[in-house]
């Protein structure tokens, strides 16, 4: 490699690393984590029906300032109602994932349960790791749940899902308030640096 080309490469690397450092990561990787847009922007809902809904209501969990939270309202028999957010691939890396969320029970009756699960995923592959199934939760008042798990090698995004599930009983209910959802891998540029290095190599091969 000529000195000139080497110099050009070094400049590219420095420029890309500077970009990475600027982009960085917010501490919380979740979009609209406190539902303060007043709607479900950033979130997906599965299991909607005539007797099941997820809405944004005027209440707020203790972990963050605000005036809104999500309300999962499942009054259908034997139904899984899920509120879910998947990060964009590239937003997560292998390593510790710290999580926290605020929940407050509405009603749990006749087999109604509430679980949370966080997945470490790899684009094009699927689930490579998990927090394990968290719950059953039924906190009478606002409660903040915190914990962490290790995302294995290959992880490039995370998914968190809240599941208000009912039993096969007439009158089964699972309703829960959810707020201030936090997924945090620390402020890091490791992932974007790795991507940048890959790009650099491919450019000069
Ligand atoms: Ca909120």
Output the DSSP codes for 76-97.
STT-EEEEEEEPPTTS--SEEE
Taking the centre of ligand 1 as the mean of its atom positions, its distance from the CA of residue 123, in whole angstroms, is: 30
Distance 159 CA to ligand 1 centre (A): 20
**Residue 53: both structure tokens together:** 């809904």
Burial of 11 (0-12, 13-18, 19+ CB in 10 A): exposed
pLDDT given at position 46: 98
Q: How far is the CA of 85 from the centre of ligand 1 (A)?
A: 16
Q: Which residue in the block uniquely carries the two structure tokens 């407050």?
A: 104
Two structure tokens written together for 127: 């689930």
Helices 3-23 and 190-203: crossing angle in degrees, nearest 10, is 150
State which H helix or E strand residue 189 sits in.
none
Question: Strand 95-109 to strand 52-57: parallel, antiparallel, or no bridges (unpaired)?
Answer: unpaired
Q: Which residues of the chain have pLDDT under 70?
A: 1-26, 187-205
pTM of the predicted structure, to 2 decimals: 0.79
Report how far ligand 1's centroid is from the alpha carbon of 20 (Å): 30
CA 175 / ligand 1 centre spacing (Å): 17
The pLDDT of residue 82 is: 98
Contacts 24+ apart (CB under 8 A), 10-14: 12/200, 12/203, 13/196, 13/200
What local confidence, expressed as pLDDT, does residue 192 receive? 45
Q: What's the token pair of residue 191?
A: 């992932």
**Quick one: pLDDT at residue 10?**
54
CA–centroid distance, 132 to ligand 1, in Å, is 25
Residues 6+ apart with CB under 8 A from 12: 200, 203
Q: How far from each other are the two terminal CA atoms of the chain, in whole angstroms?
A: 12
What distance in angstroms lies between residue 108's CA and the mean position of ligand 1's atoms?
Answer: 22
Whether the link from the prior residue into 136 is cis, omega within 30° of 0, is yes
Tokens encoding 10: 């070094």
Measure 37 CA to ligand 1 centroid, in angstroms. Answer: 9
Q: Give the span between the Cα atoms of 138 and 114, in whole angstroms.
A: 7
């Amino acid at each position: 490699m000529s000195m000139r080309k080497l110099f050009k490469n070094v400049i590219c690397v420095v420029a890309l690393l500077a970009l990475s450092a600027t982009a960085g990561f917010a501490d919380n990787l979740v979009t609209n984590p406190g539902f303060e847009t007043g709607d479900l922007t950033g979130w997906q809902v599965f299991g909607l029906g005539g007797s099941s809904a997820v809405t944004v209501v005027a209440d707020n969990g203790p972990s963050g300032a605000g005036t809104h939270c999500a309300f999962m309202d499942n009054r259908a028999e034997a139904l899984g109602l899920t509120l879910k957010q998947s990060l964009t691939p590239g937003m997560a890396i292998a390593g510790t994932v710290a999580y926290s969320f605020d929940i407050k029970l509405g009603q749990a009756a006749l087999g109604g349960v509430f679980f949370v699960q966080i997945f470490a995923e790899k684009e094009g592959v699927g689930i490579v790791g998990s927090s394990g199934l968290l719950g059953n939760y039924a906190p009478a008042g606002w409660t903040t749940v915190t914990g962490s798990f290790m995302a294995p090698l290959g992880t490039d995004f995370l998914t968190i899902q809240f599941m208000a599930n009912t039993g096969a009983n007439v009158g089964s209910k699972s309703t829960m308030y959810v707020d201030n959802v936090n997924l945090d891998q620390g402020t890091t540029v490791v992932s974007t640096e790795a991507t940048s290095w890959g790009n650099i190599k491919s450019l000069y091969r």
